[in-house]
Copies of this chain bind each other. A is one copy, B any other.
Amino acid sequence: MQQTEIIWSETEQKIAQEAFSKAYQRETSFLINQIRSQATEIVDLDQVWQLHDFLSARRHQIDGKYDYQYSALIFVFAQLVKEGWLHLKDLEGLDQDKLAKIAALTRM
């Protein structure tokens, strides 16, 4: 699949940006709630450092994933769908070829 050759129309760009933003909001809101909840259960220092390790990993993942590049967007959307932060219906309006590629990647 040659992502660099895929053309995104203006309408598709708008749909993509909205879907991307929606996934980001969902994932980061979930993370915020998760941190608040984990923090209330901390009773010893090991748990503090576990929280630190967890945040290090999540920061790395989130920074890496939410880099908006059209050349990688098909793959990013497939990953977000697999992880549950995005649904295929959030991507309705993209052309059939892109949707088919995303759907195929989510099954890999």
Contact = CB atoms under 8 A, between A and B. Distances in A.
Interface in A27-57: 28, 31-32, 35-36, 38-40, 42-45, 48-49, 51-52, 55-56
A59 interface: yes
A98 to B, nearest CB: 28
Contact of A52 (B28, B39, B40, B52): B52
Nearest to A27: B45
Contacts of A28: 45, 48
Interface residues of A, number: 19
Contacts of A48: 28, 31-32, 35, 55
Instruction: Give the one of A31, A38, A48 with max B CB within 10 A.
Output: A48
Interface of A: 28, 31-32, 35-36, 38-40, 42-45, 48-49, 51-52, 55-56, 59
Given A36-B40, A48-B55, A52-B52, 8 more contacts: A28-B48, A32-B42, A32-B43, A35-B42, A35-B51, A38-B39, A52-B59, A56-B56
